[in-house]
């Protein structure tokens, strides 16, 4: 990390794959006659992350050498750390329309033309290599495993030339106000005079334990980036618009505005536990973040990963592999005796002292219109969640 400046992007420079205005008309005309690939929602999320530089140093979907290096060693072919392959999988019928050395037009699932890809490689999708290495399991009950198994058997590798990343939507649906690109968050940090920034990754509403982690991290940094993931998630996760209401509410009432920035990350979840924790850290480095909060079972699902596997994986890298600093937090909860948030490092564990609720228990309470205890959730956030949960029950009745 450079002294007195923001951390450098992963790989040294921030990628930008948007075509210039001068080239736009020609590429649009060219795309009309190219073979068409309709992206999945996950692939559309990945395309946006590549385009804006969040996946720097990637300039497109990975080729075979990078794919194999990532799966086996968590490194690109040139040795740069990268933990999860960002792939463009296609079925046999689409593969038959493509040829190496040509191009193809990439379309959003709703039909919108997003980009053109240079088809540098067409190669077999080695799922037997990818799945056990990336997810540490081959169980199809794992949502990440199931997603890869459902993908096409061929991979298209090559750089992309992006026209747009967002189809037209109603204002606010895509959180445009909060959809800051890495270059924009870097500008915002610089404008505030911040040199050290802690980022908090979440796909859930912020409860009291999360708030505690964020504020501990803010104490040692100039500012905090609350950076929720709003790309594709698994069924059962709380919708992004509800979560955004929770974030804006808790920031308004419980955070210092001039020390806090809220921005969304349009990535898709893989639920790959430790490897995804590394990916999330590298992404935040590209956004200009110096410190990344890694909590209990980061990016995990079910019981596929150990409680602190996502923290321990950072110990596998040498100095200089990853420039962002992981902040490894213990599980936190409210202590009745201490009358505040504690962890195993800060307060002895006493029988029946700590208030902890499972996600299922909280959801059941919300659906009944019951407020979770204030020691678990701020009342203003609980109001947002109760409104959503009761409307879900009513809609399903």
Q: Which residues are catalytic?
A: 203-204
Q: What is the DSSP string of 237-265?
A: SPPHHHHHHHHHHHHHHHS-GGGEEE--B
Distance CA 103, CA 3 (A): 43
- Residue 255 region by backbone torsions, left for phi larger than 0, else alpha for psi between -120 and 50, else beta: beta
Distance CA 353, CA 16 (A): 51
Residue 180: how many CB atoms within 10 A of its CB?
21
Label the pairing between strands 36-38 and 197-202.
unpaired
Q: Could you tell me where the beta strands, DSSP code E, fall in the chain?
A: 36-38, 60-61, 89-90, 102-107, 113-119, 121-124, 154-162, 197-202, 223-228, 260-262, 291-294, 325-328, 332-335, 340-343, 354-355
CB 196 within 8 A of CB 222: yes
Angle formed by the axes of helices 240-254 and 379-396, nearest 10°:
160
Q: Which helix (H) or strand (E) holds 309?
A: helix 309-312
Tokens of 287: 């956004």
Distance CA 76, CA 68 (A): 8
Residue 339: how many CB atoms within 10 A of its CB?
9
Q: Is 113 helix (H, G, I), strand (E, B) or coil?
A: strand
Distance CA 116, CA 30 (A): 9
């Amino acid at each position: 990390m450079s002294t007195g400046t923001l951390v450098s992007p992963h790989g040294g420079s921030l990628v930008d794959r948007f075509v210039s205005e001068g080239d736009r008309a020609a590429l649009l005309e060219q795309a009309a006659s190219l073979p068409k690939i309709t992206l999945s929602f996950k692939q559309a999320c990945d395309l946006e992350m590549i385009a804006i530089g969040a996946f720097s140093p990637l300039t497109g979907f990975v080729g075979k050498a990078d794919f194999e290096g990532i799966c086996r060693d968590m490194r690109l072919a040139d040795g740069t750390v990268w933990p999860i392959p960002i792939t463009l999988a296609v079925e046999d019928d689409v593969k038959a329309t493509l040829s190496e050395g040509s191009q193809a037009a990439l379309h959003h699932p709703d039909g919108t033309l997003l980009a053109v890809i240079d088809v540098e490689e067409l190669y077999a999708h080695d799922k037997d290599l990818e799945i056990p290495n990336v997810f540490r399991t081959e169980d199809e009950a794992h949502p990440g495993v199931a997603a890869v198994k459902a993908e096409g058997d061929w991979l298209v590798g090559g750089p992309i030339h992006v026209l747009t990343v967002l189809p037209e939507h109603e204002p606010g649906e895509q959180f445009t106000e909060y959809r800051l690109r890495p270059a924009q968050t870097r500008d915002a940090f610089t404008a505030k005079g911040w040199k050290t920034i802690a980022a908090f990754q979440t796909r859930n509403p912020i409860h009291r334990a999360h708030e505690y982690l964020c504020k501990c991290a803010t104490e040692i940094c100039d500012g905090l980036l609350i950076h929720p993931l709003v790309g594709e998630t698994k069924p059962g996760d709380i919708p992004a618009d509800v979560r955004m209401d929770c974030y804006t509410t808790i920031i308004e009432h419980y955070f210092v505005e001039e020390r806090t920035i809220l921005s969304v990350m349009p990535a898709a979840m893989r639920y790959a536990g430790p490897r995804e924790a590394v990916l999330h850290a590298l992404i935040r480095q590209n956004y200009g973040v110096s410190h990344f909060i890694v909590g209990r079972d980061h990016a995990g699902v079910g019981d596929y990963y150990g409680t602190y596997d996502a923290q321990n994986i950072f110990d596998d890298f040498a100095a200089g592999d990853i420039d962002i600093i992981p902040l490894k937090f213990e599980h936190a909860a409210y202590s009745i005796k201490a009358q505040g948030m504690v962890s195993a490092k800060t307060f002895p564990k006493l029988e029946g002292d700590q208030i902890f609720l499972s996600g299922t228990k909280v959801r059941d309470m919300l659906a009944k219109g019951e407020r979770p205890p204030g020691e678990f959730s701020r009342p203003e956030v609980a109001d947002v969640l109760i409104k959503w949960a009761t409307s879900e029950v009513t809609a399903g009745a």
